[in-house]
Structure 1
């Protein structure tokens, strides 16, 4: 069975490689607009499901498994997407400063002619106090612009994190333990599971 990652995210590609999977990328093309009144957990699960089903529909009758994921930063029950401009990014960092927020990732595994399986993972992250000058300096780098919440924990913004409860890889964009369990449960093996064969 061929594994297809329905994402163009370099972080997700690196994380899937890190745990020993062979795959190819075929990014989804969907409308990612939240619905009015949609809760953050429902939103990320819907996004992962729609990404996976959109891509698996390209392979009718083929022996493929499509893995999709969606990550959102959530504070005060608001979803913080990718910053659209400098002002938006500054507002996001100001909201996150000296506070705790949640990072939600939904992962979905979809096979043709089978019921999709979706899992939701949540991690709590606490930031130190961020000065205006520090936020401005961070926004002057290329790092925040394609990241949910306007920061990358695996980059410079790792210095902003006072504490983390839960999966670190979830904050990067793909919860590794849950992804492995999901794939392994459907018989999709990584290098650890095939090395003894």
Structure 2
């Protein structure tokens, strides 16, 4: 028998405005579950360390699962209401090279110089955990960036948009003018693949009100 679906709230272990916007888009209620202080934030950053020459898919799935587990532990330690915890992480890969968030404007220029005129992959892993179960999914899309001149790259970086973005760009922003083609999940490239996310939530008995009719 199918599991009964509710419209309960979840915990979102992300401060990304894009992920929050995408959850609102399908009607999922959530509260954010973020680090309480600089020490917790630093511990989360350390989870992003690569293990040798790690494959991009292995890397992003491992890091997402670790972050989800960390968020679940925070929920329990703070005595918060027990709910499923959703975590997602995105990485950009050119071959086996992983492009995370740029450390500086110069680093953003370096990344975009390599991506311009080429096709790369965007991998977003989603993990939902509760006290009793863990489910995960991976969305892989390809993005072709049109050729860009050095001046165009510098102008884009100067806009500030690449800061805090995997691969140093936001497909929903100004960079869309340089995206020649995409193949895969647009929402996944933004940071939260909605098809995979809605499927995982249903497995936890949670309906997306804008998509599902509760049983």
Matched residue pairs, number? 196
Equivalent-residue separation in structure 2 for 1:139 and 1:6 (angstroms):
28
Gaps of 5+ in 1: none
Equivalent-residue separation in structure 1 for 2:208 and 2:96 (angstroms):
36
Q: Is 2:110 the partner of 1:94?
A: no
Cα RMSD after superposing both structures:
1.6
Equivalent-residue separation in structure 2 for 1:194 and 1:95 (angstroms):
42
TM-score by length of 2: 0.86
Question: Equivalent residue for 2:159?
Answer: 141
* Corresponding residue to 1:110 among 126, 129, 141: 129
Question: Equivalent residue for 1:49?
Answer: 65
Question: Equivalent residue for 2:5?
Answer: none
Q: Is 2:22 the partner of 1:15?
A: yes
Shift of 1:183: 0.3
Residues 2 and 63 of structure 1 are in contact (CA less than 8 Å); yes or no, is this contact kept in structure 2?
A: no
Equivalent-residue separation in structure 2 for 1:123 and 1:148 (angstroms):
14
Question: Equivalent residue for 1:167?
Answer: 185
**Could you say what secondary structure the match of 1:58 adopts?**
helix
* Corresponding residue to 1:188 among 206, 210, 215: 206
> Which digits, 9 at most, give the CA deviation of each residue in 1:54-107, with x for residues without a partner?
111123495310000010000021110111112211111111111100000000
Equivalent-residue separation in structure 2 for 1:22 and 1:115 (angstroms):
20
* Corresponding residue to 1:6 among 13, 17, 20: 13
Gaps of 5+ in 2: 1-7, 36-40
TM-score by length of 1: 0.94
